[in-house]
Amino acid sequence: EAQVTQNPRYLITVTGKKLTVTCSQNMNHEYMSWYRQDPGLGLRQIYYSMNVEVTDKGDVPEGYKVSRKEKRNFPLILESPSPNQTSLYFCASMGWVPNTGELFFGEGSRLTVL
């Protein structure tokens, strides 16, 4: 089954404790992206990657890092999480670029930073 898989789905952590949210897709997609979703604000792009070893900042990259060492994986790293990073995070992939805009999303990772 074609899918984007994120882990963990739920996480509660404390300020300053480094964490990584993993993302993996099995569709051989070149493009991958991370979004955060906050009430009333829609989806905001954090980082994206056009291909292996190519990553770029989105609209809200502060406090986050990413890497793209393999085509299928695109982990999101919070080196020193803060409470304002409490959010619902989505990883997404796209089959080819440019594209009409059909993103395939994971199920989401709900992060709470205390």
Which residues would be at the binding site for other proteins (CB under 8 A)? 4, 31, 35, 37-45, 48, 50, 88, 90, 92, 94, 97-108, 110
Task: Work out how close the CB of 45 gets to other proteins at its nearest, in angstroms, rounded to a whole number.
Answer: 7
Task: Work out how close the CB of 16 gets to other proteins at its nearest, in angstroms, rounded to a whole number.
Answer: 25
DSSP characters for 63-83? T-EE--SSSSB--EEESS--G
CA distance 101 to 114: 35
**Closer to other proteins by Cβ: residue 48 or 64:** 48
**Closer to other proteins by Cβ: residue 38 or 79:** 38
Cβ atoms 40, 87 nearer than 8 A:
no
**Closer to other proteins by Cβ: residue 80 or 84:** 84
Task: Work out how close the CB of 104 gets to other proteins at its nearest, in angstroms, rounded to a whole number.
Answer: 8
**Closer to other proteins by Cβ: residue 66 or 94:** 94
Cβ atoms 10, 61 nearer than 8 A:
no
- Residue count of the chain: 114
Task: Work out how close the CB of 51 gets to other proteins at its nearest, in angstroms, rounded to a whole number.
Answer: 10
Number of H helices, E strands in the chain: 0, 11
